[in-house]
Amino acid sequence: MSEMQSPKHASCTESFYKDSIKAELDGHKIAPTERTRMLQILRKFERENDQTAGKNNNEDEDDDDDDDEEDDYVPDLAERLEAIDLQTADTDTILSKLTPAERAEFEASLRAGADAIRGYVDIWTPWWWNDSIQDGGGSGETTPLIRLMDGTTPAGETELKTDTRPLVLSGLKSLRSLIAGEPDESLMFNLVDLVGGYAFMSRFLNGDWEEDPVEGARIMWDVSRVVGSEQPFAFTGVHDALASLKMRMMQNESYGITAHTTALSLADISRILSSPQNVLSALSDAHNVFTAAHTSPTSNANSTSPSPPPPPLIPRAMRRRAFASAKKLYFYLCLLNESTAAGGGVGGGDALLPVLKAAVDVELSLVQREIVEMEDGVKAAVGARRRVPRGPLVQEI
């Protein structure tokens, strides 16, 4: 697992976000949260251009050709975006407001790779990868989403906590109050699916699901069969749960799944399964996602105050589905909490989690081996191509 904390692991993480942003530019449906992330990049891009423009204006003060300056005047990005509803505008509409030179530079920065993207938006570090983790509510350090050129953070900008673990739901009920009889022991395999769906959703939204809990719910419905299905079922083993996760992630092209992102997801699952507290925190945070998603915004709906308008109402069918998913997650929270507290119960939480983790680690090793073999094959092919002797440029007749 030390490999996942190396620079090689960092490149996997960064490529995940790079592929996601590229997918948006290629015309896939863009989620509100992804649009917000792109706008954050554009705003910083604008600030850099403003600084450059300021230097150019100083140099142009001595220029006598005022008519040419007026003809070449281009409003700044804020003015160009002023007439656009950023909540509903699509990607092409927003990018059309850039000048050809600005758009070329912006898209070039995305093609340049993770380092260019990191310069605009800080990539979130998941709480489960922090060795000095604290429980939520502590005085953990924060990472700003946007930094100015001088290293400061704009007023009002969101900051992401990187070393706090989500609080576990309090007052969890006993299983006897939820179901009659004993639950099937194979239900514990479903934890792998739930943890994997939560980790993937968290990374895809860069750790900020609170910005759009409905989008967070949609992603988990896409990826996790347990929360996405209305019918109760149980996986027969860890391999089946992981195969389901991979298949469902690959079905959505906008997720940009590769062998590297698959390895990253497996490493995330393994890390969360390393302790009951991690799993309880992950399930609690996932429960919060669906609780927020099924709560329809009603406050300020008829208000005439200058405050921002409330988000659109959530469709009733989606609210019902989110409510059912929250109840399902609550059941698994109670299941794991009771089996862990009792030291036994269904599968014995303390004893079973290491078994689940070990099985995930085996799958991770296989994927890592495939990546190495694939990269070695590419290197061998390139080397063989270079060693092929070139024939005579001119053939004698």
Cross-strand pairs, 144: 159
Q: Determine the pLDDT at residue 127.
A: 96
CA 304, CA 330: separation in Å to the nearest integer? 38
What pLDDT band is residue 30 in, cutting at 50, 70 and 90?
A: low
* Terminal-residue alpha carbon distance, the chain: 63
CA 6, CA 29: separation in Å to the nearest integer? 33
Q: Which of 93, 83, 101 is nearest to 45 (CA)?
A: 101
Mean of the pLDDT values across residues 35-50?
64
332: amino acid identity, one letter: Y
Token pair in block for residue 114: 């993770």
What pLDDT band is residue 253 in, cutting at 50, 70 and 90?
A: confident
Of the chain, the percentage scoring pLDDT greater than 90 comes to 37
Query: For strand 142-144 and strand 159-161, is the pairing parallel, antiparallel, or unpaired?
Result: antiparallel
pLDDT at 51 over 50: yes
The answer to whether 260 touches 12, Cβ cutoff 8 Å, is yes
The answer to whether 168 touches 284, Cβ cutoff 8 Å, is yes
Of the ranges 199-203, 221-225, 339-343, which one carries the lowest mean pLDDT score?
Answer: 339-343
Of the chain, the percentage scoring pLDDT greater than 70 comes to 61
Of the ranges 16-20, 73-77, 322-326, which one carries the lowest mean pLDDT score?
Answer: 16-20
What pLDDT band is residue 61 in, cutting at 50, 70 and 90?
A: low
Q: Determine the pLDDT at residue 335.
A: 92
Q: Determine the pLDDT at residue 363.
A: 96
Q: Determine the pLDDT at residue 338.
A: 87
Mean of the pLDDT values across residues 142-167?
55
pLDDT at 378 over 60: yes
pLDDT at 46 over 80: no
Mean of the pLDDT values across residues 358-373?
95
The answer to whether 168 touches 280, Cβ cutoff 8 Å, is yes
The answer to whether 136 touches 164, Cβ cutoff 8 Å, is yes
Token pair in block for residue 176: 């006897």
Q: Which residue has the higher pLDDT, 271 or 352?
A: 271
Q: Determine the pLDDT at residue 49.
A: 63
> What mean pLDDT value characterizes the chain?
76
